[in-house]
Amino acid sequence: MEGPESRRDERRRRLAVSPVTITMCLCLANLSGPCLAAHETEPNDIAALANSVTVDGDAMVGQIAPAGDADWYCFAATAGTAYMLVTSGAGDTDMDTVLELTDTDGLTWLASDDDNGPDLYSAFAWQCPVSGVYYATVMGCESTDVGDYRLEIYSISGDAYESDDTMGTATTITTDGTGQDHTLYPSGDLDWLKFSATAGTAYSIGTSQTGPPGSTDTHLFLYDATATQLRESDDLVYGDDLYSRIDWTCPADGTYWILVRISTFYTDPTPWMGPYTISVSGGGGGAAATTLVADDVSGNVGQTVQLSATLSSGGDPLAGKTVHFEVDGIDAGSGTTNASGVAGVAYTIPGLGDRAVTAGFAGDAAYDPSSDGATLTVTNSVSGIGLFLSRSEIASGESTTATVVDAGGRIITGACNLFIQFGAGGWWDGAEYTGAKAGTWTVTATYGPLGDTKPLTVTHGVACGVDISPDCSTITTAGTQTYAVTAADAQDNVWTPGAADITWTHDGGGAFAGSTYTPDAGDAGGIVDIYATVDGVDSDHAALAVNADSGAGLTLAWDKDDRNFYLCQNPANPQSADVAGLIPAANGTYTVNGVSVTVWGSAGNRAVTINNSHHVVNSLQVRWFVRGGVVQCAFMYSTVCGGLKTATYRAPTTYVDGEYRLGFWGLTHRLDAADPSSITYGALQQ
């Protein structure tokens, strides 16, 4: 049964009725009783105008016309009773129906089906939860469908052979072809039967239609006395749609058991319970014995051969009889015997390996069933194969399709093994390969001992992550900064995008040329925020500190990692300065990078004063505590011209300038390295 969403919503919008109108329809149905009309009466396009249908009564003949028509019917249902709703052909114009069941309110969808009836008609079973008048709607599958149909609604109940749900309670059935009428009810019902069979005798066990066409989908099983399954049949290929048939020759005298259930194709058997007829024929009786001889056949992979068998009775050929063929237990079709008793079907050999052919005659009122086996020998006449790829270069996540042909140009892809070089990743779906890892890989096709290869280039896919470096740097307005960009796709392919593939974004006054940023004078004294975009994906942000180009730009900073002071140009990473920027740890006065500094304090508590000609009173002091070789806590004090600033670091945050910041933020003093006239306080993350 199908989900109701799209078709039901469209119909409800088109055929919506008010609650008052629905109430009137229900009252009329209950007062007047069901109508036994054989033909629908238009208009019946909404629930309020529904035609009445008698359960277990005459079929309703209707017509979907014009295109887009929907025919509504109502019927009385009793709580706990199961019902089968079926559409079938009714005129010269067949059609593809959809059958829907609606609750007593005329609005709530309960069930629907498209093609489980005969041909393209509809069928399903339903168990009534609450007594009342329900609605069945017939419409075309497509908005352009028109045609004739029959609607039948009948109740389902248990059969006279219950309880027969186990081998021990199985019903006995004769082998003279006399049918027994059973019903698979309630949901999940099992019907067991048993019969006596004679060694060497061919038997035909089959289910067939009892109710309206397409009403019950059976699954048939045959067991011996040890409960070992011997044969099974789900959908009958002899021409009766969803019914089942087993053709079998008895190996030893004894009693055998038959199990009938709803097809195991359905996880929910409720929609498919219903009636069927079962019969067993064989063992002679009044019918004449037959002999069926299947012919061995051989051919190459991809070649179409003729499967054939000869049917006779008493040495005389039987014409006009249906012979069914299977190859390795898989249906291969049916053929009708000619005047010589020969029936055949065309069969295309799919691949290497010999195959077992089974031919079976189901028997009829005049002739017993018979069967025979033969061998299909598959030869390998392929002298060489060629592999072709629909695309020789794909991006990661894209696909290419492999085709293999033999020396004669026949396509034999389905008979070949396909694989790609180890390390390429990706996956195969039949002959379609989807790439993963970038590189040039070897695709291989093999057919027995034969093989061929083709190279496949996989390029990176669309970026899903972008990275730039350095993420923190310092230059002067006279300098430039060049960035390196890498991108990665969903399969972790990493590459360096070309300049044309990168879009740069920044808040400075300078400009990018390729991957190099050149600042302007307005950037001096500030930090420029920079990031790159590839395939619509932004990178992490980089901080670029820009100092004025006047011989200035040196900054006093304490490095948390090596616990030393530096006079440097990159306070975000002080120890990246050359040796000339390192300030000695011992107390005393030193000249560092041409600047006089005084160091005082003790281990774990150091301060540095910059001695400038303008006598700016200043000091930068740090007290720190180490655990496991790592600074866990640091207290920092900045004094410039009597102004005090402090910062406290307790891993992993720093309290500075009145707020908590993630990471270590160190206090800094920036000065003019030539002849400092001022010292500027700052705080920068390391």
Residue 32 has what pLDDT? 33
**Which amino acid does the sequence have at 97?**
T
From 156, 184, 209, give the residue that closes a domain.
156
Residue 336 has what pLDDT? 95
Tell me, rounded to whole angstroms, the distance of Cα 82 from its chain centroid.
35
Residue 609 domain flag = yes
Q: Is residue 18 over pLDDT 80?
A: no
Higher pLDDT, 330 or 134: 134
Residue 516 has what pLDDT? 96
Residue 442 has what pLDDT? 97
What is the residue-averaged pLDDT of the chain?
85
Tell me, yes or no, whether 20 and 139 share the same domain. yes
Residue 10 has what pLDDT? 42
**Which amino acid does the sequence have at 247?**
D
Q: Residue 453's domain is classified under what CATH number? A: 2.60.40.1080
355-361 vs 322-327, strand pairing mode = antiparallel
Residue 580 domain flag = yes
Which residues, in sequence order, are bridge partners of residue 513?
516
Tell me, yes or no, whether 505 and 541 share the same domain. yes
Residue 6 has what pLDDT? 41
Residue 672 has what pLDDT? 62
pLDDT per position as a tens digit, 652-680? 999 999 999 999 999 999 876 444 457 88
Residue 265 domain flag = yes
Let me know: does 223 contact 257? Beta carbons within 8 Å. yes
Residue 436 domain flag = yes
Which residues, in sequence order, are bridge partners of residue 348?
304
Q: Per the structure block, which two tokens stand in for 64?
A: 């979907």
Helix (H) or strand (E) segment spanning residue 402: strand 399-406
How many domains does one find in the chain? 6
Inter-CA distances, 224 with 221, 253, 317, 372, Å: 10, 11, 34, 21
From 529, 547, 565, give the residue that closes a domain.
547
CA distance 333 to 324: 6
Q: Is residue 178 over pLDDT 80?
A: yes
Tell me, yes or no, whether 391 and 375 share the same domain. no
Vertex 69: Cα angle to 67 and 72 (nearest 5): 160
Residue 21 domain flag = yes
Residue 162 domain flag = no
Nearest-CA neighbor of 77 among 111, 45, 42, 39? 111
Across 484-503, average pLDDT? 95
CB atoms within 10 A of CB 249: 16
Let me know: does 151 contact 72? Beta carbons within 8 Å. no
Nearest-CA neighbor of 260 among 207, 310, 311, 312? 207
Tell me, yes or no, whether 369 and 412 share the same domain. no
Tell me, yes or no, whether 353 and 422 share the same domain. no
pLDDT per position as a tens digit, 309-353? 999 988 889 999 999 999 998 899 999 999 999 999 999 888 777
Tell me, yes or no, whether 436 and 415 share the same domain. yes
Tell me, yes or no, whether 540 and 453 share the same domain. no
Across 456-482, average pLDDT? 90
Tell me, yes or no, whether 567 and 666 share the same domain. yes
Given its phi and psi angles, is residue 29 left (phi above 0), alpha (psi -120 to 50 degrees) or beta? Answer: alpha
pLDDT band at 594 (very low <50, low <70, confident <90, very high): low
**Which amino acid does the sequence have at 649?**
Y
Q: Residue 501's domain is classified under what CATH number? A: 2.60.40.10
Lowest mean pLDDT among 38-42, 58-62, 364-368, 552-556: 552-556
pLDDT per position as a tens digit, 530-576? 999 999 999 999 999 886 554 456 889 999 999 999 988 888 888 87
Tell me, yes or no, whether 538 and 680 share the same domain. no
CA distance 173 to 133: 40
Lowest mean pLDDT among 229-233, 345-349, 547-551, 682-686: 547-551
pLDDT per position as a tens digit, 599-639? 999 989 999 998 865 677 889 999 999 998 999 999 999 99
Lowest mean pLDDT among 54-63, 491-500, 666-675: 666-675
pLDDT band at 12 (very low <50, low <70, confident <90, very high): very low
Q: Is residue 26 over pLDDT 60?
A: no
Percent of the chain with pLDDT over 90: 52
436-442 long-range Cβ contacts below 8 angstroms, 24+ apart: 436/396, 436/397, 436/491, 437/396, 437/491, 437/493, 438/396, 438/491, 438/493, 438/495
Tell me, yes or no, whether 25 and 142 share the same domain. yes
Nearest-CA neighbor of 505 among 470, 538, 472, 482? 538
Residue 596 domain flag = yes
Q: Is residue 19 over pLDDT 50?
A: no
Residue 22 has what pLDDT? 32
Inter-CA distances, 427 with 416, 435, 436, 452, Å: 17, 7, 8, 19
Q: Residue 18's domain is classified under what CATH number? A: 2.60.120.380
Tell me, yes or no, whether 173 and 206 share the same domain. yes
pLDDT per position as a tens digit, 642-653? 889 999 999 999
CA distance 332 to 335: 10
- What is the 8-class DSSP label of residue 576? G
Q: Per the structure block, which two tokens stand in for 142?
A: 């497509």
Q: Per the structure block, which two tokens stand in for 617?
A: 């009173």
pTM above 0.75, yes or no: no
Lowest mean pLDDT among 198-202, 260-264, 278-282, 470-474: 260-264
| Domain that includes residue 659, residue range | 554-685
CA distance 195 to 182: 16
Q: Is residue 274 over pLDDT 60?
A: yes
Number of H helices, E strands in the chain: 2, 58
From 521, 547, 573, give the residue that closes a domain.
547
- Backbone dihedral angles phi then psi of residue 521, each to the nearest 5 degrees: -60, -30
Residue 161 domain flag = no
Lowest mean pLDDT among 36-40, 307-311, 353-357, 644-648: 36-40
**Which amino acid does the sequence have at 455?**
P
Tell me, yes or no, whether 124 and 218 share the same domain. no
Q: Per the structure block, which two tokens stand in for 505?
A: 């974004």
